[in-house]
Amino acid sequence: ATAVGNVDLDLNVTNFAAQAANINATGVTNVASLNTLKGSTTVNGLNATTNVCVDAPGPLNINSAVSAGDTVALRSVGNLNVNAPVSAGNKISAESTSANIQSGSNITQFSANDVALRAGDVGSAQPLTVQAQRLAAQATTGNVQLNLTSANTQTANLTLDKSGTLLQGVNANNGV
């Protein structure tokens, strides 16, 4: 989907890509690079001048870049697999309600001023790479494994955008 204004969609799709001022999508499985039907223009991932909000009823696979001028909010019921960069001018809020946030890619997965992450395991397959000024992360059943690329990253109290859960610093059920 390509739009000038807002994209607000309740979908049941496997692959999704969009460019708009604001993107609010539910029912998405894979963020991908796709060609439009008219004009064969390639739309790479999700790109919004203001906000990107994705709510997946199962696993969510970020296979193409997600970016927003202000906030990116991601929530999945299954694993949140981050295999492409997620960036925002202000805040990234990412949560898996019943599984893990993970990646098999050697990239900076999350880049924003504030990054809030919550899942059973955060960085379960390998450590997630985060570039942030302020960070809050919580592993509800496992470990938090992160590589921080900013020299002055501080732990903070940050609220997840989708669930409203307040994360206080970095903590884990098993270890950090």
- pLDDT in tens for each of the 176 residues of the chain? 444 455 555 556 677 788 888 888 888 788 988 887 776 788 888 999 999 999 999 999 999 999 999 999 999 999 999 999 999 999 999 999 999 999 978 888 999 999 999 999 999 778 999 999 999 999 999 999 999 999 899 999 999 999 999 999 999 877 66
The pTM is what? 0.91
Rounded CA separation 40/34 (Å): 9
- The DSSP H or E segment spanning 44 is strand 42-44
What 3-state DSSP class applies to 58? coil
Question: What local confidence, expressed as pLDDT, does residue 22 receive?
Answer: 85
- The DSSP H or E segment spanning 29 is strand 18-31
Non-local (6+) Cβ contacts of 37 within 8 A are: none
Place of tokens 């990646």: 103
Question: What local confidence, expressed as pLDDT, does residue 4 receive?
Answer: 46
Question: What local confidence, expressed as pLDDT, does residue 112 receive?
Answer: 98
